[in-house]
Amino acid sequence: MPNNVNTSSGGSTDPGGKLNRRQLFRRSFFVGGALFTGVDKLPWRPFFQPPHNQRLEGGQLLGTIPFTGEAPVPMENAFGAELDGRLYTNLSALNAQVPVIPADKFYIRTRASQLMETQKTWQVRLGGHTAGPPLLTMEGLKGMAKPMGVHLMECAGNVRSVHFGMISVADWTGTSLIDILERVKVNPKANRVLISGFDTYATKSASSVPGASWVFTKEELKNAGAFLATEMNGSPLTIDHGAPVRLMVPGWYGCACIKWVNEIACTRDAVEATSQMQEYAARTMQSGMPKLAREYKPAIIEQAAMPIRIEKWVQGEKTRYRVIGILWGGSALVKKLQIRFNPEEDYMDVHQLEQTSNDPWSFWSHVWEPKQPGSYLIRLRIAEPAVVARRLDAGYYMRSVDISEV
């Protein structure tokens, strides 16, 4: 076995998944040897492609092959402090049977301030309205909280050098922003909502600007189903994830998901963009760094996809590789996900894709028989002109592997 096989990593080895009827049919078709008749007319692929969590027919999983060009970084352990504190989620261990990332493995971008106000008396100020309560207490918020569903969050600064470990999924509990705004009487001219969080730190950051707030329109908050989260995966938020209360805006980048929320203020239309919006202007694909909040496009996550694990199998005499990946972002289900190994090869349809929603992520898999040993650059695309996927199309989520045995 070549030494680049990583047998200890958490690749999914579960062989026990049951086949559905269509898969059984596909298999019996294959086994029956009728592979030659009218294969091109079939509505399914002529190969038996088990879902990504299932064993390759008669195969044995040898291990996973690490991605190349990604230097080791601490994974699944929080390190650093305050604005420079991080935790990177280990995507290589994901599988569809585990629908959420446990809170202690959910990525962290900015750890709690050492100057944090006491959590016991936390309140959210409600500003810029003409009548209604001036404060939301934590008792009030927890009393209104409801299950908000499973949603993904990705940092706009999620990069290959951290194994793209700044993306995670959790099951959230909280209160819809629209429900909160209905409790206050708003001046009709104040049609924007400024949401701010505690963001003062004891230490100076090497790379980040303190100050966390974002301006939304009510429509944006409503359309996204934004909520103030008080629980993650059925437990109160951890301090590093924004306890006692954070904003969650499904479908938007994490930079808009303000932690340690302490103020919600209705503001006039011509309000300036916040420092946080400006800091993330390029990463949320704004044109330049606009001055006014209303010049910002919603910081939404466009359709994206990437490989998360390369499995090495032996099947009979043959060495086979299986690429496992995720698909997330966007707003319409993907019909045609394609994969390419090295720029010289053609794109081909990804074998297995089971996507039921754009949020959270879905899994796909592709059995791969490299023609020869060597370095391969893996790139994905959505072969549908109507789908906007600028980051994906720019090659942002490309990953590479070295194959020593075929």
Ligand X SMILES: Nc1nc2c(c(=O)[nH]1)N[C@H]1C(S)=C(S)[C@@H](COP(=O)(O)O)O[C@H]1N2
> Which residues partner with 399 through β-bridges?
378
376 binds, among ligand X, Mo ion, none (CB under 5 to 8 A by kind): none
Q: Residue 250 binds which one of ligand X, Mo ion, none, with CB within 5 to 8 A depending on kind?
A: none
Question: In whole angstroms, how close is the CB of 199 to ligand X at the nearest point?
Answer: 4
Scanning residues 229 to 258, which ones bind Mo ion (CB under 5 A)? 254-255
- Which residues contact ligand X by CB under 6 A? 107-110, 153, 155, 197-199, 212, 241-242, 254-255, 257-260
* Binding partner of 232, given Mo ion, ligand X, none, CB within 5-8 angstroms per partner class: none
Nearer to Mo ion, 26 or 109 (CB): 109
Is 109 a residue that touches Mo ion (CB under 5 A)? yes
Query: In terms of CB distance, is 17 or 157 closer to ligand X?
Result: 157
Distance, in Å, from the CA atom of 52 to the CA atom of 58, rounded to the nearest integer, reads 15
Nearest residue to ligand X on Cβ basis: 254
Q: CB nearer to ligand X: give 172 or 341.
A: 172
Supply the minimum distance, in Å, between the C-beta of residue 395 and ligand X.
22
**What are residue 181's phi and psi, to 5 degrees?**
-65, -25
Strand partners for 146? 174
Give residues with Cβ within 8 angstroms of 219, minimum separation 6: none
Q: Do residues 406 and 319 touch, judged by C-beta distance below 8 A? A: yes
DSSP 44-79: S-SS----TTSPPTTEEEEEEEPPBS------SS-B
The item of Mo ion, ligand X, none sharing an interface with residue 257, based on CB under 5 to 8 Å by kind, is ligand X
Cα dihedral 30, 36, 38, 43 sign: positive
Integer CA distances (angstroms), 352 to 17, 48, 113, 336, in order: 15, 10, 44, 11
Nearer to ligand X, 63 or 242 (CB): 242
Per partner kind, with CB cut-offs from 5 to 8 A, the member of ligand X, Mo ion, none near residue 110 is ligand X
| Residues touching Mo ion, count (CB under 5 A) | 4
Q: What's the token pair of residue 179?
A: 């429900």
- Closest approach of Cβ 279 to ligand X, in Å? 9
| DSSP bridge partners of 232 | 172, 235
Closest CB to ligand X among 65 and 170? Answer: 170
Site residues (vs Mo ion, CB under 5 A): 109, 155, 254-255
